[in-house]
Amino acid sequence: MTPVAGQAKSLANRSACGILAKDMQLPERITIQSHTITVVPRYAETDKGGVIHHSVYPVWFEMGRTELLRTNGIAYRDLEAQGTFFVVAELRIKYRRPAFYDEELLLETTCSNVTPGKVEHTYKLTRRSTGLLLAEGSSVLACVTAEGKIRRVPEFLCPPHGWLGGREA
């Protein structure tokens, strides 16, 4: 990408994040990029050998995204009430080691990129007792209306300047 194209994209991203919720008590701007939650796997989330089933990780990733929003003062239901929905457009998971029933895990969820039409996250799941990396992943969420049409990411979800490693959103 040429510097001129990069500057144009950066300006487009800034101006594209211009929709603000009407009559909602939403924050002016999100300020927390990363949040960690504790996950204790339930018996129903395991296979016969007590290992966490691979289908559970996307559910935990959603829990991480929801709590990251909540930490920023936003409830997902408030976004829905003002017509903003996010659908998973892409999900990647790398399973490194097994997680087991009833052990404490830490899930770190990070907002890694915001563009006019999507929000990207990364995830790291570790064993609390050892810090061992068990799984990592990423997701791309498309911003849509209640009718499923692509819409711009609301302005308050665009991170502050410099937040994404020098890239502007």
pLDDT in tens, 19-49: 444 455 777 788 899 999 999 999 999 999 9
Domain annotation covers residue 52: yes
Q: CB within 8 A of 114, min separation 6: which ones? A: 13, 17, 120, 153, 157, 158, 159, 164, 169
The CATH number covering residue 8 comes to 3.10.129.10
Please report the pLDDT score of residue 7 as a whole number. Answer: 32
Please report the pLDDT score of residue 63 as a whole number. Answer: 98
Domain count across the chain: 1
Domain annotation covers residue 64: yes
Please report the pLDDT score of residue 137 as a whole number. Answer: 98
pLDDT tens-digit readout, 140-149: 999 999 999 9
Chunked mean pLDDT (size 10), the chain, 169 residues? 34 38 66 96 95 98 97 93 96 98 98 95 98 98 97 89 50
Domain annotation covers residue 162: no
Model pTM above 0.85: no
Please report the pLDDT score of residue 158 as a whole number. Answer: 87
